[in-house]
Chains A and B, each alone.
Chain A
């Protein structure tokens, strides 16, 4: 097959970081090509260069055998390159339709300087249908859930009729259902001869959809392999540089006292939710997107109002009306959206890590910066956060490393009950194992963890118990013996068993 794209000896430096060191990357017409690597390996950077979002310091790019010098996003689009960025690029107060056609709104045939909203709308509706969204394209994008916004991004990329479509971790906010829709779309594109670069940390997905895979490590290319001829174990070895023995370090811990009891909690989106979490236990919460899992977490944490019900901690009713009160009661919440809810992006790694427990690094309101640096360095090491130094601004970190900083922040806070909404979103396999290890250690100390995840293997691998939600209600509570993906999905879809 002819190479449609060749990137050769690509170099890219950021202040303090050599992000790409002579990377060569080739894709063929009509293939789905996985791009793998640990957090911070340089995947997104390479893709941004291809999409014209960032300039390169050195190297050549050839498309269809011709040298091109991609001058910007528009040029990349003209060259037939479409991209879904790792971070959502949705403008919340514009309509969904306009978001899809941003920068290339259809014009009237008779008056080319006038936008043809009718056409725009009609085409948007069609595209949305293709990705399984039945929504009015005129509603503002802010009204969509993150997952739906992600589907809009996919619709957008598809609509560009590109020769090369780049998908940088498109599934981090999606559940199986949406992932299936995405895969259908990918296959359809492939049938039309479109090449796809697929960046993901979910290796099962890679196995399912990709033809070849290229692995980066520390900004260098390690190699390209055929997916069919290798196993995910091989890829992991290429990514991490060693064998990774066990992903889920699950060891049963003795279940202790009841740590948290939620009783009859109701709000606009929750209907009479009751459950308990125990010391030494990892409780999983499963559900489809929009089932109210995040809302439940936010409600317990005092970030959203509840209309009725009570939250008991250690057997006593806790009046939690704000995150501050939740924190002081020993609850922590790692939110699902790191950019909007997790990090103060212009602040440094150090400052973000200590943000939820400033008391731990201060006395009578005065900071002890030396102590803070020590704390930050400890967590950077424990979570193996890849950053040039603890005073790097988090905005400059790779997505996965940003996620680790959020985790670090809440691990440092003295929580006894840790709620994690999508714990490993965008986190590489190696680091995942470490995070699971940390959670395991956490419960071993007699604390309790609640994991909300759309990644069912993860949920099954880590939980001692799983509750399933559907439309704001708990529809099932499953013991380890009942853990299987189909059963969970059945309850999650609201079908009774």
Chain B
């Protein structure tokens, strides 16, 4: 008898021009649609331009390379969803990797040792992860309690933690003589034919997706980023959720750093310099808003793959260095530009 009942049942009232189901689907995957199409188009173009691009081996390389940035980007997505940002990831990446490496049996550095003991590989890795989590916790704690902009807080820790890393290493890399097999596996191994970094990345993504979509923690993250005050008034533990988000970010930066140390066979104090931009770029290209509250882990996965495919493809296609810069930048802008334009059109 009146429209309201019909609305409430979610059926197709004559005023609704699209059935709820379809728009529900669009709402779910609409965000990823355009970036995904762009990625596919990119892959097709690159395959046509250079036949060597399209091979299982190359795709595995891409998957492995993007994993390092990708693991951090999952954490960064969560942080950005809360309306924050973390610039210290590159430094955390380095600190965790040098600490973990220095604890691994067989590690060697020209600098005097700071920690005079070694641990079995899993514990050394765990120690590295804890260092990363601790940095993240400090970021989160200061951000949640002081209300200083996350940009500045993490900019400060970026410098501070880099300094710690230099002091810890004396500026020297830590190498392995030899590298314990378990640690070697950590970054260089294979599981079911897939490189371990990719496996870790996939796991992190799965967990990230589960957290953001299926847990109260994830829901709270979106809520805080969407409207912090309303969230607080709804009884959400804003401070502790923020602290957790940054702690998770720190641990993931550490994981990534430790994997890279294994992969390249050394932990370096300069590791991860400027990674923050790459990581944030991956998140933002995927479509997650820096303002918080809007975006998803799957978008980020697309974002880091877009970045990875561009830089891999340009090298494989043999584009000369300086032109690579130009093309890379233009591709990046068009990857997002097209999506933004469509959205803007849709809004009007």
Contact = CB atoms under 8 A, between A and B. Distances in A.
Contacts of B1: 242
Given A389-B23, A389-B24, A391-B27, A344 B4 contact: no
Q: What interface size band does chain B fall in?
A: 35 or more
Given A240-B2, A344-B227, A355 B27 contact: no
Given A365-B217, A391-B27, A347 B293 contact: yes
A390 B11 CA distance: 11
B234 A356 contact: yes
A303 B235 CA distance: 10
Contacts of B222: 344, 346-347, 351
A220 to B, nearest CB: 9
B8 A381 contact: yes
A377 B294 contact: no
Interface string B1-37: 1111101111000011110100110010000000000
Given A324-B237, A351-B222, A356-B235, A241 B2 contact: yes
Nearest to A363: B216
Given A303-B232, A358-B219, A18 B17 contact: yes
Contacts of A340: 227, 229-230
Interface string A218-245: 1100000000000000000000111000
A294 B27 CA distance: 36
B215 interface: yes
Interface stretch (A9-17, A153-161, A479-487): A9-17
Nearest to B239: A322
Contacts of A300: none
B226 interface: yes
A358 B8 contact: no
Contacts of B220: 358
Contact of A17 (B9, B15, B232): B15
A398 B7 CA distance: 14
A187 B4 CA distance: 37
Nearest to A395: B226
Given A219-B15, A355-B236, A356-B235, A377 B2 contact: no
Interface in B204-224: 213-220, 222-223
A381 B9 contact: yes
B23 A377 contact: no
A377 B219 contact: no
A367 B219 contact: yes
Contacts of A388: 7, 16, 18, 20, 23
A341 interface: yes
Interface in A382-412: 384-391, 409
Given A15-B346, A388-B23, A390-B10, A333 B4 contact: no
A359 B216 contact: yes
A303 B233 contact: yes
Contacts of B218: 367
A351 B219 contact: yes
B235 A327 contact: yes
B231 interface: yes
Nearest to B5: A381
B348 interface: yes
B17 A13 contact: yes
A218 B234 contact: no
Interface in A15-42: 15-18, 21
Given A242-B2, A365-B216, A388-B23, A346 B293 contact: yes
A342 interface: yes
Interface string A291-313: 00000000001010000000000
A73 to B, nearest CB: 14
Contacts of A17: 15-17
A335 interface: yes
Interface string A154-170: 00000000000000000
Contacts of A385: 7-8
B230 A380 contact: no
A287 B15 CA distance: 41
A333 B8 contact: no
A326 B232 CA distance: 11
B15 A18 contact: yes
Given A335-B233, A359-B216, A386 B3 contact: yes
Given A377-B10, A388-B7, A16 B18 contact: yes
Given A346-B293, A386-B4, A387-B7, A16 B23 contact: yes
A369 B234 contact: no
B17 A16 contact: yes
A360 B212 CA distance: 18
B231 A355 contact: yes
Contact of A367 (B18, B216, B234, B294): B216
Contacts of B4: 381, 384, 386
A348 B18 CA distance: 17
A366 interface: yes
Interface string B228-253: 01111111110000000000000000
A347 B233 contact: no
Contacts of A375: none
Contact of A362 (B18, B23, B213, B216): B216
A387 to B, nearest CB: 7
A346 B5 CA distance: 25
A291 B217 CA distance: 38
Interface string A243-260: 000000000000000000
B19 to A, nearest CB: 9
A345 interface: yes
Given A18-B17, A324-B237, A389-B20, 20 more contacts: A15-B17, A15-B23, A241-B2, A322-B232, A323-B232, A327-B235, A341-B233, A343-B227, A343-B230, A346-B294, A347-B223, A355-B223, A355-B231, A358-B219, A367-B213, A380-B8, A388-B23, A389-B23, A409-B234, A413-B235
Q: Which 3 A-B pairs have the closest CB atoms?
A: A381-B8, A344-B226, A389-B20
Interface of B: 1-5, 7-10, 15-18, 20, 23-24, 27, 213-220, 222-223, 226-227, 229-237, 293-294, 346, 348
18 contacts: A13-B17, A16-B16, A18-B17, A322-B232, A323-B234, A323-B235, A324-B235, A324-B237, A327-B235, A341-B229, A344-B231, A345-B227, A346-B293, A365-B216, A366-B216, A384-B5, A389-B23, A391-B24
